[in-house]
Structure 1
Amino acid sequence: MLDVEPLLAATGSMPPCGVDLEYDADFLELEALASAKPERQFQEEADEPPWHDIMARVSALLGRSKDLRLAITYTRAAAHDSGLRGFHAGLRILTGMLDRYWDDLYPPLDAEDDNSTALRVNALAALADPYTPFDDHVTLLHDLRAAQVCQVPGERLSVRDILIGLGKLTATAGDRTVTLSLVQGVLAEAVKQDREALADALSLPQTVEQLANLMSARFGATDAPSLTVMMSVAQSVAGACRAVVADQPSTPASGVAMNGVASVQQTGFVAMPSPDRLDSLVKASSQKHGNSQLATRDDAIAMLDAVCTFLEKTEPTNPAPLLIRRARALMGKDFIAIMQDLAPDSLAQIHQIVGKEPE
């Protein structure tokens, strides 16, 4: 793994976070370099930004200022320049900044608006799930998929290759043919040559989870960028790598009935406990972990996060966390906002029924 501590160290001038680079010439030049649009479907191929040069520039600027915009640019550039380990390093820098320097971090909190975090949320917009597949190019998801996972003589694998090989991403024009056997073979050869070759891929889901939880704590569950799609990609890649690193241990999810819930193997689905049984399970869990009953919306959101974390660790192929996180992101929205998110095509009919015109 790349060492990010030097980049997270307090600035030498005006510590711990240095100066605001909003109008700094070097910062503006960096943003211009990194703003080149990547190739999009049905468009001519565009030149890639000079990622190696951008890496050097942003690393130098991080010594002058602890700015979330710099961390996003570093993550994007590192994914192209250093592969998945670079992307992983960028997420760790973001996590470190939010954890260590919250009070003094750039962009600053808005003191005139009750310390509003809006500027910081906007700075992290590239982290969030894309609204449509065509929005991928403006999010870090595009850079994550382009990141190289490993390379062996005569072959290399990117995150995109692995997703295509696993059948989790549809190949488009220009993509090479990737099969599951090819993915498994290259990963196995990489591990054979270097046992630590897949270390970043294996630990990426944990880092994404840490960042997601920290952003929820800092910004609030409804304002924090959703990392649902990024987590899904990270888990898929980690699962493919884990399969070639060691044999998978059997888990209770393989079909053993637990706590009165029917076995997945026996029924094909997980049965919902009765209301009385569900209440007893919640009370037992509260007693076991020393937690009180749910009293607020934030308590409920924290419980949903805990459920997702448990399932992601014990049943990494279970799709439930994706749906739970999706529902969690909607909890703070009104009906119109929810329909805008889930079914935007239905808004015209809704506005006609309720008499509210689209904004």
Structure 2
Amino acid sequence: MELLEILAKPVSEAEPCGPFIDDVDDLESEFIALETACRGKEEKFLDEENAIDGESADWKTVASRAELLAEKTRDVRVLVIIAKSYLNTGGLEGFSLAVFALRQTLSGFWSHVHPVLDDVSDENPWRIMCLSELGGDEVVQELTHLKLVSSRLAGSFCLRDIRLAKGQVVPIDDGVEVPDQNIISAAFAESESHVIEADMRAVDSLLESLDAIEMLIRENESACSPPQWKSLKDCVLSIRQVYQEFASVLFAVDEAAADDEGGESVQASSARVPIATLDSINSRADVIKALEKINEYYSKHEPSSPLPLLISRAKRLVSMDFMAILRDISPDGVSQAELIAGVTDDDE
């Protein structure tokens, strides 16, 4: 059963959000086991020379256990764990879905969701503290190191990589390689547009859900301080800014491809009228101009292509004679060419 479907239905008529975990021994045992699973296994030292490596949490198992527990009780602590597990297994889309589910649960069952807000004078109630866990260091770190773009040729990059490339953060270790912004742009240009668009929608939905939960708290518990989500929201806003900046390269490539496809259709139906033409080439200067036009096309429409590097080199070779070109592209072949041509040092 899907998460939203699970949480949309009341547990029972008598208890819409089920019993409180701390009041039922079996539920409490399940929750303790769930929290333990979230921590994974720490490194264990047997002696000075031997140790058993630690293991990170199995987030798929955590998600399954948390979903089963959520069927029995609607507890913010469980829903926050679901959000963490979905972030680790489903990235931005998974995290956004889980936070939206939390929002819907609070909106539909505000008075019954555990921990219940029963002390109106408490400025920092338990429920708010549980919600603040959603914006804890663990979640922010995971978001910071989450791959925002993956490319077969250019590689994968996360928010921290992009901050390093822009000089917004300084690497702690001198050996850390700082990514190049042009390479990051190339990665976005090579990405699947529907994947990037889905992540961008997830970011917008995530911010909307966080704002909606804060609004619910203000409307229902005006005396309460809001959850401590500043670091979380700042991180998500930074991710949105990255997509707005770098994804424009991808969408420009897609638009150019669409224009090319449209142009080909028009061309086929109009007696193959050429879309673009070059003036006649009558000199080396004309050759250079033609190469520059080709370079302009790739810079604008295919920024990840390596061809501009080769074209720029070709442009430099235009004004050279045969031997100069040979020295540039194949120095080892110069002596053989001179031998065949009968060229000596005195001739040069």
TM > 0.5: yes
Report the counterpart of residue 69 of structure 2 in structure 1.
61
Greater helix content: 2
Q: Assess, with a 3 A threshold, how the Cα gap between structure 1 residues 169 and 5 changes in structure 2: closer, same or farther.
A: farther
Question: 1: distance between equivalents of 2:39 and 2:218?
Answer: 28
Percentage of matched positions with identical amino acids: 20
Pick from 97, 100, 103: which aligns with 1:95? 103
Confirm or deny: 8 A CA contact 2:37 2:58 kept in the other structure.
Answer: yes
Question: 2: distance between equivalents of 1:11 and 1:175?
Answer: 51
- 1:247-266 pair list within 5 angstroms: none
Confirm or deny: 8 A CA contact 2:163 2:169 kept in the other structure.
Answer: yes
Unaligned runs of at least 5 residues, structure 2? 44-51, 250-348
Q: Assess, with a 3 A threshold, how the Cα gap between structure 1 residues 101 and 208 changes in structure 2: closer, same or farther.
A: same
Question: 2: distance between equivalents of 1:175 and 1:88?
Answer: 31
Report the counterpart of residue 225 of structure 1 in structure 2.
227
Report the counterpart of residue 179 of structure 1 in structure 2.
180
Deviation, structure 1 residue 153: 3.1
Question: 1: distance between equivalents of 2:177 and 2:102?
Answer: 33
Q: Assess, with a 3 A threshold, how the Cα gap between structure 1 residues 108 and 209 changes in structure 2: closer, same or farther.
A: closer
- 1:102-181 pair list within 5 angstroms: 102-110=110-118, 113-114=119-120, 116=122, 118-128=125-135, 136-137=137-138, 140-153=139-152, 155-173=155-173, 177-181=178-182
Deviation, structure 1 residue 168: 3.8
Deviation, structure 1 residue 193: 6.0
Q: What is the CA deviation profile of residues 284-311 of structure 1, one whole-angstrom value per residue up to 9, with x for unaligned ones? A: xxxxxxxxxxxxxxxxxxxxxxxxxxxx
Question: 1: distance between equivalents of 2:31 and 2:171?
Answer: 36
Alpha-carbon RMSD: 3.3
Question: 2: distance between equivalents of 1:9 and 1:222?
Answer: 26
Report the counterpart of residue 38 of structure 2 in structure 1.
34
Question: 2:26 matched to 1:18?
Answer: no
Question: 1: distance between equivalents of 2:164 and 2:204?
Answer: 18
**TM-score, with normalisation over the residues of structure 1?**
0.55
Question: 1: distance between equivalents of 2:112 and 2:148?
Answer: 35
Q: Assess, with a 3 A threshold, how the Cα gap between structure 1 residues 18 and 48 changes in structure 2: closer, same or farther.
A: same
Q: What is the CA deviation profile of residues 77-106 of structure 1, one whole-angstrom value per residue up to 9, with x for unaligned ones? A: 111111121222222122222222110001
Q: What is the CA deviation profile of residues 255-288 of structure 1, one whole-angstrom value per residue up to 9, with x for unaligned ones? A: xxxxxxxxxxxxxxxxxxxxxxxxxxxxxxxxxx
Pick from 213, 216, 220: which aligns with 1:214? 216
Deviation, structure 1 residue 50: 1.0
- 1:274-353 pair list within 5 angstroms: none
Unaligned runs of at least 5 residues, structure 1? 131-135, 248-359
Instruction: Report the AA paired with residue 146 of structure 1.
Output: H
Question: 2:57 matched to 1:49?
Answer: yes
Q: Assess, with a 3 A threshold, how the Cα gap between structure 1 residues 149 and 245 changes in structure 2: closer, same or farther.
A: closer
Instruction: Give the 3-state SS of the residue equivalent to 2:191 in structure 1.
Output: helix
Instruction: Give the 3-state SS of the residue equivalent to 1:63 in structure 2.
Output: helix
Higher gyration radius (CA): 2
Confirm or deny: 8 A CA contact 1:68 1:97 kept in the other structure.
Answer: no
Question: 2: distance between equivalents of 1:32 and 1:100?
Answer: 30
Deviation, structure 1 residue 176: 5.7
Q: What is the CA deviation profile of residues 195-223 of structure 1, one whole-angstrom value per residue up to 9, with x for unaligned ones? A: 63433235443333333333444444761
Q: Assess, with a 3 A threshold, how the Cα gap between structure 1 residues 73 and 166 changes in structure 2: closer, same or farther.
A: farther
Instruction: Report the AA paired with residue 210 of structure 1.
Output: A
Q: Assess, with a 3 A threshold, how the Cα gap between structure 1 residues 206 and 121 changes in structure 2: closer, same or farther.
A: closer
Q: Assess, with a 3 A threshold, how the Cα gap between structure 1 residues 175 and 222 changes in structure 2: closer, same or farther.
A: farther
Q: What is the CA deviation profile of residues 309-359 of structure 1, one whole-angstrom value per residue up to 9, with x for unaligned ones? A: xxxxxxxxxxxxxxxxxxxxxxxxxxxxxxxxxxxxxxxxxxxxxxxxxxx
Confirm or deny: 8 A CA contact 2:17 2:113 kept in the other structure.
Answer: yes
Q: Assess, with a 3 A threshold, how the Cα gap between structure 1 residues 195 and 156 changes in structure 2: closer, same or farther.
A: closer
Report the counterpart of residue 259 of structure 1 in structure 2.
none
Q: Assess, with a 3 A threshold, how the Cα gap between structure 1 residues 178 and 141 changes in structure 2: closer, same or farther.
A: same
Question: 2: distance between equivalents of 1:78 and 1:108?
Answer: 25
